[in-house]
A and B are shown apart, each in its own frame.
Chain A
Amino acid sequence: MNEMTPTREERVANLKGMGCARKRVEDARFTQGKGNYVDDVKLPGMLFGDFVRSPHAHARVKSINTEAALALPGVVAVLTAKDLEPLGLHWMPTLAGDKQMVLADGKVLFQGQEVAYVVAEDRYIAADAIELVEVEYEDLPVITDPFKALEEGATVLREDLEGQTEGAHGPRRHPNHIFLWEQGDKAATEEVIAGAEVVAEEMIYYHRTHPCPLETCGCVASMDKINGKLTLWGTFQAPHVVRTVASLLSGIAEHNIRVISPDIGGGFGNKVGVYPGYVCSIVASIVTGKPVKWVEDRMENLMATAFARDYWMQGKIAATKEGKITGLWCHTTADHGAFDACADPTKFPAGFFHICTGSYDIPVAWVGVDGVYTNKAPGGVAYRCSFRVTEAAYFIERMIEVLALRLGMDAAELRRINFIRKDQFPYHSALGWEYDSGDYHTAWDKALKAVDYEGLRREQAERLEAFKRGETRKLMGIGLSFFTEIVGAGPVKNCDILGMGMFDSCEIRIHPTGSAIARLGTISQGQGHATTFAQILASETGIPADMITIEEGDTDTAPYGLGTYGSRSTPVAGAATALAGRKIRAKAQMIAAYLLEVHDNDLEWDVDRFVVKGAPERFKTMAEIAYASYNQAIPGLEPGLEAVSYYDPPNMTYPFGAYICVMDIDVDTGEAAIRQFYALDDCGTRINPMVIEGQVHGGLTEALAIAMGQEIAYDEMGNVKTATLMDFFIPTAWETPNYTTDWTETPSPHHPIGAKGVGESPNVGGVPAFSNAVHDAFRTFGLTQAHMPHDHWRIWKVASDLGLHG
């Protein structure tokens, strides 16, 4: 070996494979303003669409007069439901088995609902024209409270469903009822609760909020009438599904539709669904023969496009006097708004909410969810969480705290004695899940030690005494959270979106000179797929990550996949990527054997090459093998080096983590200063620690927003009170604390590389940590439950109600 020959360590480092904090390949474009987002798409002759939206939350549409708008120079068309009806497109199916108006068909059901679609030569003319569309409304009674919606004699919101007693998910018991979905054993759970030594009961509300990615939703539709092809650029987290839906809705054959997700400016679940803007833009392009762009503004985004949460969770938790949990009961009233447009796998109308037994060994449980229509915007999307998992985690992590209060027990200890033990995995939960792996005690102990939990409790007790002596007006709160996520949807046998199984895919092509391109069925919205998926392939194929291009989002070139949401990219597409890489390696092994004139089994893989066993000087590198695959005839093998893998996961993955938040709360102003936040995540095998840490920082900040101030609020008339970023809280650099991140590593036993996904864990685990800290500060004054968001006013009110203002 001469000194120019790289050592094995150098060869490993050169790969920039799994485990390395590889810098992102996306960044050179983004930092220089060379991203290509949907609003950057500019086509010759392109027109602009804009919506006339309803100012009323519930009203009959008596008439729509488009004459004045059409007379404005530069206006090309105005579409109403009447124009869409002959095409059967005035309504569209939702992902949840319901249907939704594309444009108001006789009535409007929420403020901001799409009423008419104006197409004009530029966005200013379109904006002028929507002011000229005259709509005559007749007010109807408004219902914004899901409990009132289910009262006898309540105004019927969905007249289109009148008389339909069967919904997509079973019987409807009231005209405003959507479904009752149950899991677990109700009778056995109620029996345990009736006979329990201790029962804690609480109503936990997880308020309505919104994913609010910095880029709003939008699309450009371009129908080429000459060749009959429709190209649709858009902010789509699931471009392949959008293609299938567009084909089914429009009747255009699927091969004649090309859907392109360009760069996406954040998704967080907001960009999974199909919105009226997409449908209207496609129709407008077909009608006008020109490309049509539609990009919603922020107010439209917050008012009309896919809210999240809005779960009223009534809980009962039973335990022994020593604190061993014996049963969990939960009835949830889920406010779905005017249409059931939740983005959940078809068979799960409440998503994976039944992960709500959390990280605890609870022998018996029942959960029932009633879906309800109200005069609010449709949605119910998974805002940076797997389907309804954040609601579940918040519920159980609040119930544990309420139980700890009831028992007079330390909440950290209560968690510890109820954790599923390491030797119990794979663990079958009372609500039907098989947790693949976990080591909760190790993670919890590491977290408590890292923050000096006992020291914090001592400090808190001293602070409390000082408060009582009148020496300070600030209380200290310690927020604990231990969460188990369920991500990576999912096995095709029970997970589908509109009938499409939730597999994912990767296709790899190795070039003659040893570099490669890989295409996936997912689409990055900031997660850095172009960086991290290349790392998986580098480790699997021995081709340096810097020599692998990753492409996603173009349905004409990428293999079919179900997209990126629910932390599914790494668990599902990441697995497909690893397996496609292994197929490449399997063929490479045969080529190497031929070149080295040995049997396949006489070779072993070493970083980037096949080496003859016992003869380390005889080897073929992947680059040499790639070249050989194109330049010589190898008996029994096809030329070229390509592979494709469609991966159907055998199970979900179950990332978990331990979060601890410490805050100082000013009793008189309601201000909460977060002085410490420790986040331990176990996402299985770690592909890129830098990217993981970035995901945790971001998810925690979204959790901070949700817990401490962010909400979509309505008044009784159904007016949205939080429709701009002035009212809808997004933390700035000023409010956001620094976070300390940490990890344990418990690989998933069923995933090819043991990875579990991480993007959503910090949101799921973060919300209870922040909220529990607020509750904990007031624990000794008798507070059991205060609803989020814990903004200054609400915290002040808590203090006031507890008599702390003298």
Chain B
Amino acid sequence: MSKMHLKLKVNGQEVETLAEPRELLIHVLREKLDITGPHIGCETSHCGACTVDMDGKSVKSCTVFAAQAQGAQITTIEGIANPEGMHVLQEMFREHHGLQCGFCTPGMITRAWRLLQENPNPTEEEVRFGMSGNLCRCTGYQNIVKAVLAAASEMNSAKEAAE
């Protein structure tokens, strides 16, 4: 099958690659660009392990064709940490034991990262609803929810302190 010239901005860097239009974004990221943080858990958009941020929205990259991603700005788990160190979400997931096997974690954190931009001060219920597109088999979510709420609180305090 003929390939298209794909140009993306991934984690702040311009990248180019050749891909069949039918190729899924998750495969382009993982196989062509060596960005292996996002994982494949179902390939049917149910589990959210492949969640990345595309043009300001959380998407399941197993259900986005390479062709649909042409010219998009993409952020993956690899692009979330600050140059100074881990993002507060990453720290809070560790602090509150919000992960076990780690397979869902990149998608979870990438989703939470967008959720807290959409809603910087969510209730527990809003976190549970906003994260419900991401499945976890290990944690029972309780500590994930705790981690996201703690991150929101830290981020809000930091923002207040800066103002």
Whether A733 and B103, one on each chain, are in contact in the complex, defined by CB atoms closer than 8 angstroms, is no
Give chain A interface residues in 228-278, CB to chain B under 8 Å.
Answer: 263-266, 268
The answer to whether B136 and A214 have CB atoms under 8 Å apart is yes
Bound-complex Cα distance A760 to B42 (A): 25
Q: Contacts A697-B142, A739-B140 known; A26 to B42 CB distance under 8 Å?
A: no
Per the 8 Å Cβ criterion, residues 700-753 of A in contact with B are 700-702, 724-726, 730, 732-734, 736, 738-739
- Alpha-carbon separation in the docked complex, A741 to B37 (Å): 32
Chain A residues lying within 8 Å of B43, measured Cβ to Cβ, are: 297-298
A residues 322-365 in Cβ contact with B at 8 Å: none
B1-27 interface bits toward A, Cβ cutoff 8 Å, 1 = contact, 0 = none: 100000000000000000010110001
Contact indicator A214/B140 (Cβ below 8 Å): no
A7 is an interface residue with CB less than 8 A from chain B: no
Query: Per-position contact with B for A521-535: 1 when CB-CB < 8 Å, else 0?
Result: 000011110000000
Chain A nearest CB, measured from B28 CB (Å) = 11
Binary contact readout A177-205 vs B (1 if CB under 8 angstroms, 0 otherwise): 00000000000000000000000000000
B57 contacts A by Cβ under 8 Å: no
Instruction: Please state if B94 and A690 are interface contacts (CB–CB under 8 Å).
Output: no
Over the window 26-42 of chain A, the binary record of Cβ atoms lying under 8 Å from chain B Cβ atoms (1 yes, 0 no) is 11111111110101101
| Cβ B76 vs Cβ A733 within 8 A | no
Which residues of B are found within 8 Å of A123, using beta-carbon distances? 27
A215 and chain B: residue at smallest CB distance:
B103
List A54-113 residues whose CB lies under 8 Å from chain B: none
Q: Is A321 an interface residue (CB 8 A)?
A: no
Q: Does B152 contact A (CB under 8 A)?
A: no
Dominant secondary structure at the A interface: loop
Contacts from B to A (Cβ < 8 Å): 1, 20, 22-23, 27, 30-31, 34-44, 46-47, 49, 76-78, 81, 86, 90, 93-95, 97, 99-106, 109, 127-129, 131-145
Provided the pairs A31-B109, A40-B36, A725-B44 are in contact, do residues A736 and B141 lie with their beta carbons within 8 angstroms?
Answer: yes
With contacts A214-B41, A215-B41 taken as known, whether A31 is within 8 angstroms of B90 at the C-beta atoms is yes
Contact in complex: A31, B137 (CB < 8 Å): no
Q: Are B77 and A266 in contact (CB under 8 A)?
A: no
Cβ-Cβ contact count across A and B, 8 Å cutoff: 177
| A741 to chain B: closest residue by CB | B142
Verify A124–B23 contact, CB threshold 8 A: yes
Given contacts A35-B103, A263-B102, A526-B100, contact A215 B90 (CB under 8 A): no
Complex partner residue of A214 from B22, B94, B137, CB under 8 angstroms? B137
Interface residues of A in 8-39 (CB under 8 A from B): 23-24, 26-35, 37, 39
| Shortest CB distance B66–A (Å) | 11
State in angstroms the CA–CA spacing of A525 and B159 once bound together: 37
A264, B97: Cβ atoms closer than 8 Å: no
Least CB separation from B124: chain A residue: A738
- In angstroms, how far is the closest chain A Cβ from the Cβ of B4? 14
**In chain B, what residue has the closest Cβ to A23?**
B94
Could you list which residues of chain A lie within 8 angstroms of chain B, going by C-beta atoms?
23-24, 26-35, 37, 39-40, 42, 122-124, 212-216, 263-266, 268, 295, 297-299, 525-528, 690-691, 693-695, 697-702, 724-726, 730, 732-734, 736, 738-739
**Among A26, A33, A691, A694, which residue has its beta carbon within 8 angstroms of that of B37?**
A33
Known: A33-B77, A697-B143. A733 touches B97 (CB 8 A): no
Shortest distance between the CB of A250 and any CB in chain B (Å): 29
Q: Shortest beta-carbon distance, B126 to chain A, in Å?
A: 11
In the complex where A40-B36, A124-B23, A526-B102 touch, is A32 in contact with B90 (Cβ < 8 A)? yes
Structural contact, A701 and B140, CB atoms closer than 8 A: yes
Let me know if B137 and A702 touch, CB within 8 A.
Answer: yes
**Can you give 22 contacting A-B residue pairs, CB < 8 Å?**
A27-B93, A27-B94, A31-B106, A32-B86, A33-B38, A33-B78, A35-B103, A37-B39, A39-B39, A214-B138, A265-B103, A698-B100, A699-B140, A725-B135, A730-B137, A732-B132, A732-B141, A733-B129, A733-B131, A733-B136, A733-B141, A736-B128
- For the complex, give the distance between the alpha carbons of A694 and B76 in Å: 26
B142 contacts A266, C-beta separation under 8 Å: no
Which of B20, B77, B104 lies in contact with A32, CB distance below 8 A? B77
Q: Which residues of B contact A37 (CB under 8 A)?
A: 39, 103
